[in-house]
Homo-oligomer: A and B are copies of this chain.
Amino acid sequence: MDLPLRGIIPPLITPLKNYDELDYPGLEKLIDHVIRHGVHGIFLLGSNGEGPSLSYALRKELIERACLIIDHRVPVLVGISDTSLEGSLEIARAAKACGADAVVAAPPYYFPVDQNQTVRYYEILADALPLPFFIYNIPSHTDIHLSVETVRKIKRKGALGIKDSSGDMFHFYALVDAFGDDPDFALITGTEMYLPDAILHGGHGAVPGGANVFPDLFVRLYEASLAKDLETIELLRTRVMAIYKTMYSVSDHPFSIPMSIKAALSVMGICDDYLAPPLERMTPAERDQIAESLKKINHTTNISATSTDP
């Protein structure tokens, strides 16, 4: 894997038939869909991938299958966030065995911990990991917002970068300011709407959930941002905003984005829309709204989106 990691790395949703059974054909179609449209890497078992909702056996099976399908066409990152250190290591060893390139670890999320305890957790984890790792900042799920100082300390243990899903753009800028001059440390935003700002101001990439559905849109937005092509950026941003206003707004559940994504992929004939508890598939009425929203998003700009033609 070339460093720093850069570009569009979709947090792959995990196609499921049941809470302990993969949708194999769906997984294959989904991976081909995103790679064909030019994504620069794939992130398995993140929040959108429902990693924490799956049994360890299923997580390992997903890693194995996905790595076989991806077959080194793009780098593979594997989410190992867990409440148990040994559990995280177990998934990391499976990732190593299957040929994944790196792992991604959020702070453990059951016990409330402070910044210093979190640093020490990462230190123990890093020493035991069989693969290089990325830091994952996602306060909405872990209840801790990793400070710049905390990131600095964890970075010393060899972190290859950070995925910041805090939704706090000022924090991302502070990370760029602090670590932007390290050529090997990747600064990746998890908020799709911030992709152009992140790239324009020194970030390296994004992990946009929406790239499961619209990989070409985000790849082109990334390229326009790299080229500082403000006009194209504005055009494509309008479409990202349309995703939020239509597709992501269909359900008012507290974490509905992966529900929307799976419903959209199902409408597109790519994979099943089942989600593992506590998340839930959309109702038929919501699914119809998702189908409508796909049409609206595709018509938002003149840019054709072959990937999203159902």
Q: Residues on A close to B: CB < 8 A?
A: 19-20, 47, 52-56, 58, 83-87, 90, 107-114, 117-118, 120-121, 124-125, 140-141, 143, 167-170, 173-174, 177, 191, 193-194, 197, 200-201, 228, 230, 234, 237-238, 241, 244-245, 253-255, 276-280
Contacts and interface: CB of A to CB of B under 8 A. Distances in A.
A52 B110 contact: yes
A247 to B, nearest CB: 15
A254 B83 CA distance: 16
B173 A193 contact: yes
Nearest to A124: B277
Contacts of A108: 52-53, 277-278
Contacts of A113: 253-255, 278-279
B87 A55 contact: yes
Given A109-B109, A245-B177, A84 B53 contact: yes
A53 B85 contact: yes
A294 B248 CA distance: 45
A53 to B, nearest CB: 5
A204 B244 CA distance: 23
B177 A111 contact: no
Task: Select the residue from A47, A86, A276 with max chain B CB neighbours within 10 A.
Answer: A86
15 contacts: A52-B84, A56-B87, A85-B276, A107-B278, A109-B109, A110-B141, A112-B140, A112-B255, A113-B253, A117-B279, A167-B170, A170-B191, A170-B194, A173-B241, A197-B197
A125 B53 CA distance: 13
Nearest to A109: B110
A20 B241 CA distance: 44
A113 B255 CA distance: 7
Given A141-B111, A237-B201, A83 B118 contact: no
Given A141-B111, A254-B112, A255-B113, A85 B170 contact: no
B177 A279 contact: no
Across the A-B interface, the 9 shortest Cβ-Cβ residue pairs: A55-B86, A52-B83, A52-B110, A112-B254, A169-B169, A121-B278, A113-B278, A20-B86, A85-B277
